[in-house]
Amino acid sequence: MTRSGKVAAQSLFLAGGLDLTGPITAQGLPVPPDAEAVSMAACLKDMATLYPQMSQDNLSATCADQWKKTVAAGPIADAVLAVVPAAADESLSLDAARKRLPQVRWDAPPQGDVLASGSMGMVRTNLEGGVAALTRLNFAWQDVGGDPRYDVAGAMTPRGASVRPLG
């Protein structure tokens, strides 16, 4: 629990809003070798603009922490990208999604009112929709107190993908 007595929870709901700049291979989208340097430079620039009163040391520490969250979210980003259909009109079946997500330990039977549920470490995964055509992929996690541990949107960027709000 946080100091206010609340549990910090996060969820990534994917039903659209994913922009890709390159084709996805079986290995996902590669992360360039300079991804950390590029991310740190962008973060330092953004943080210095937002918080001009912060010292360089504090800016660097904040951005280094953000990079750790980006790296920690890498497996989630890879899983999301693994289930992106090859074409806009392609439907992804339950069986195909489960095959594309070997890193998920699937529950038998699923927990709750979903087609499939499972976990990747501390991250819960749900697949929803129809058996022939999934409509929803959800990753959820919760932490007790502190900042969120994952930056999924940040993990998408070095993979050539970006997340945008729906609506």
Q: Please report, in angstroms and rounded to a whole number, the separation of the first and last CA atoms in the chain.
A: 32
CA angle in degrees (0–180, nearest 5) for 43-45-50: 90
Instruction: Provide the pLDDT for residue 105.
Output: 93
Enter the tokens of residue 8.
């910090």
Q: How many angstroms separate the CA atoms of 120 and 24, rounded?
A: 21
Q: What is the mean pLDDT of each run of 10 residues along the chain (167 residues)?
A: 33 44 52 92 96 96 95 89 78 88 91 90 88 85 80 88 72
This prediction has a pTM of 0.77
| Domain boundaries of the chain, sorted by first residue | 8-163
Q: What is the pLDDT of residue 26?
A: 42
The CA–CA distances, whole Å, from 22 to 30, 106, 166 equal: 10, 29, 21
The per-residue pLDDT for 134 is: 84
For 150, the 3-state DSSP assignment is: coil
